[in-house]
Homo-oligomer: A and B are copies of this chain.
Amino acid sequence: MTFSCGVSERMVEELYLNINPLQTAGKTHAETRKAIFSWIDGYAVCDACKGSLRTMDKPPIRAFLADVSAFLGMEDAMLTNGAREAKFAVIHSLTEPGDWIVADGNAHYSTLVAAERNRVDVVRTATAGAPTYEVTPEHFAEALDTAEDARGTPPALAIVTHVDGSYGNVVDAAGIAKVCHDRGVPVLLNTAYSTGRMPVSGKELGVDFIACSAHKSWATGGGNAGILALSGAYRDRVLRYSVDNPVKPLETLGCSTRGSAVVALIAAFPYVRERVSHWDREVAHAQMIVKMLEDAGGFFILGTRPKRHDLIAMETPAYDEIAKTHKKRGYFLAKDLKACGIVGIKPGRTKQFKFSSFGLTDDQARYLAETFIDIKDRYDTR
């Protein structure tokens, strides 16, 4: 059985190990699926609504927002349609068209597009370049000081990618936040690949906003959901209410994620809280896979070392060599992986690609590394 082209059938997680970094930490648990199924119809969360989604007790959205704020070490939280909508809301609240903000050189495109939609320039920091692509507090200091000298005004905001989606680097968020705050710049931490997977405390890191992707990292599945957690001096500039409709938060147009998606998020939260406490196991799997691949030869890990995240990017010249003569060209790799029960890398890519080991068992993590190595060896005719 293969992927369906239509809409009635998709059996990826049931039949394969899906190592797509976008998807590994968004998989739902049985209880979450049950909750989604129970709450799917129409505006079901509105059954008992008195006008304000964020203060609802049936389902327990008010309690969830309090719990999740505490979980993230922040003072308050809003439901959003996703991490990108959370970033847009903060930029929209803190900037005027023509302002500028700073973002790291590994920022996701949605950070840039959220700024562009607000007609705000983005100055991006340098990175250390290949092979680590590291972004440091010093990169931020340099970008902030140079751009402020050139532009004459300070930036309205810094958006810091906690863990980037290209290399899985975990930045020194506390160090970067200090550099920004020393210059009077509020800090939004984009945690699409961190909160929900690994422990994150906004208080310890000293950030003003945390944007979370429920579908990417909170085991919430594919409804649209995100969280914007807020603290400190800029909180009320973002979590502000309509003048004429004073229970409706302006930046979420009253209600944001308002159906089974928020129910899924609430249902998944106990699992997420528990799994975050086992982050060391996820890091150990990633480090084991990296070691096995590097010991085998022909695999070069990109990003900072030691590996501290499940998102693993690598250069694979060995595969690229095979692609040159293989009748399926670069597509052999995705095909061979699929034959071994593994999906989720971009078909056609052999020079460099990324994958995620999140949520694998010990045996699955080992099997994944062994399969990568076996496929390389299979074509080794030397």
Interface mask (A145-163 → B, CB under 8 Å = 1, otherwise 0):
0000000000000000000
Which residues A161-220 have CB closer than 8 A to chain B? 215-216
Complex contact A223–B263 (CB within 8 A): no
Contacts of A215 in B (CB 8 A): 42-43, 258-259
Report yes or no: A3 in contact with B57, Cβ–Cβ below 8 A: no
**Cβ of A85 < 8 Å from any Cβ of B?**
yes
- The smallest beta-carbon distance between A344 and chain B, in angstroms, is 8
Assembled-state Cα–Cα distance A116/B246 (Å): 12
Indicate if A332 sits at the interface (CB-CB under 8 A): no
Are A41 and B221 touching (Cβ within 8 A)?
A: yes
Determine whether A260 belongs to the interface, using a CB cutoff of 8 Å to chain B.
yes
Residues of B within 8 A of A26 (CB): 41-43
Q: List residues of chain B with CB within 8 A of the CB of A125.
A: none
- If A117-B250, A117-B251, A224-B258 touch, whether A267 touches B7 (CB-CB below 8 Å) is yes
Tell me whether A112 is interfacial, beta carbon within 8 Å.
yes
A22-49 Cβ-contact flags toward B at 8 Å (1 or 0): 1111111001011111111111111110
Chain A residues within 8 Å of chain B by Cβ, number: 78
User: Cβ of B10 and Cβ of A39 under 8 Å apart?
Assistant: yes
What copy number does this chain have within its complex? Answer: 2
Contact of A40 with B36 at beta-carbon distance under 8 Å, contacts A242-B112, A253-B110 already known: yes
Do A60 and B222 touch (CB < 8 A)? no
Which residues of B have CB within 8 Å of A254?
Answer: 84, 109-110, 113
Cβ of A8 within 8 Å of any chain B Cβ, yes or no, is yes
Residues in chain B near residue A43, CB distance under 8 A: 20, 22-23, 26, 215-216, 222
A41 engages B261 (CB within 8 Å)? no
The residue from B25, B33, B224, B245 contacting A42, defined by CB atoms under 8 A apart: B25
Q: Which of B25, B47, B113, B221 contacts A248 (CB 8 A)?
A: B113
What are 13 A-B pairs at a CB distance below 8 A? Answer: A3-B47, A22-B46, A23-B42, A42-B221, A81-B85, A85-B253, A109-B245, A109-B254, A112-B245, A223-B259, A224-B256, A224-B258, A224-B259
Beyond A20-B47, A223-B261, 6 extra complex contacts between A and B, CB < 8 Å: A3-B58, A27-B41, A39-B222, A81-B85, A109-B248, A222-B259
